[in-house]
Structure 1
Amino acid sequence: MASTRLERRAGDDRTATVDALRERLRSMQQAAPQHTAPDLVEPIPAGLDEVVRRLRSGAAHSIESRSLALACLGAAMPRGAWGAIVGMPDLGLEAARDLGVPMDRVALVPHPGRSWLDVVASLAEAMPVVLAVSPGRVAPTEAARLAARLRQASSTLLIEGPWPNAATVVRQVRAEWQGLADGDGRIAAGSLVVEAASGGAPRLARIPIAGEGMPEREPELEEQPAA
């Protein structure tokens, strides 16, 4: 099943109501095939689950890169639930699937326009996890209003880019590769070192990227000194 696009029409109200979004969501769920076979659920990479545990519900979290944000979306979506992606008109669907996003259960809003805050808030009240591209500068009062709606709905908002008073800031620190010697050889395995800061000392999660036939390693978490 293809992902669903929720497009705005010229002349509509500034934003869709929560009731309308929920009605649309109910229709999408009824049309979706009813299966929850274990082999249809992508496993969460070791290390990424440690990051996702810090993305508590009822709050907004800032994630530095698109690929990392999509991976976090796929890992944070409850099994069988729907999510949404806002403000990514150039999203590569296959690339998103490769990062673990179940695109058959994702509503796409490519062009929220000036209604970004209203659209995101309404979707967050209807879906447990929403990923949105940062609209740029946001007034603290608007961010606070959105935060209140997230708390009320117990929804998780992932922002690709900066966000005022984000509950967590996630960024990729570096990539490490094994198997290369003085520029020669083949990459056998590697890992991404990701930092998640949510108050106090930030923590580093090492997310293994196993090569063919290489076993995955357990995540290594490192405590960083406070700045």
Structure 2
Amino acid sequence: MIQAGRIHEYLKKLTPTARGNLLTELERLEACGEEMPGCEEILAALRAEFRTDESTQPRAGNASRYFFAPLEPLLIDGAPEHANPGRILRGSLAPTWEWISRDLLPAMARDYVKEINELIAADNQRGALRVASAFQTKIIKSIENTLGSPDGAEQTRIKLATYTASHAAYGDLAKMLCVLRARDALAKFNEALPAMIKKFDDARVLKVTALLDGLAKDHPDAVPFALALVASRLRTSWQLIRLAT
């Protein structure tokens, strides 16, 4: 068993970002049921640093939380092997943010972080949302250009692999791109749904189908995410099959 003193000494040599990424990876492996002998003390030390609430994930910075806000209703904790086409792994956020901040648009990301933190400190919620939306639009265009070429896509895979061992990160990046493109339409769709669909009868099926058809006209790629939002309102997810009948 590694002594606690040596663990803390090792962790201090890592940057805060590296420690956060390490915690994300260890918790991902833990969620997958992997055996990790001797990691209990490492997890305890990292959780003591990053946990300020009962969350099972490290708290992201204000800037990244605002940036990823449109994804929040679609995030799940779990193993990549159990991926859902309409869901995004929460563990993919940290490596994606690292890639954006260090590789994709580092200078622009620094400016965004500075500006939005100033707005948050001034309690200017509307301004912070506006800045986050503008940055999301810039990131969308940059990711589209980057993934648009085989070389760019391959380099992105390589870079993401330096921030996480999860094989789901690249696929989740593509999902994030889709959700961010349709963020306003998905938000409108989500708001139109009841908090809980207690009875998925014919009348409710017709209403949801109409909402899905409206979304699909302009954002067909976003339909799996809309279905995930519907499923989260149902008593049992198998009821989704009624939308296909």
Larger Rg computed on CA atoms: 2
Q: Identify, as 1 or 2, the structure richer in helix.
A: 2
Same fold per TM (> 0.5)? no
Q: TM-score, normalised by structure 2?
A: 0.30
Q: Identify, as 1 or 2, the structure richer in strand.
A: 1
Q: Which has the higher contact order (CA 8 A, sep 6+)?
A: 1
Q: TM-score, normalised by structure 1?
A: 0.31
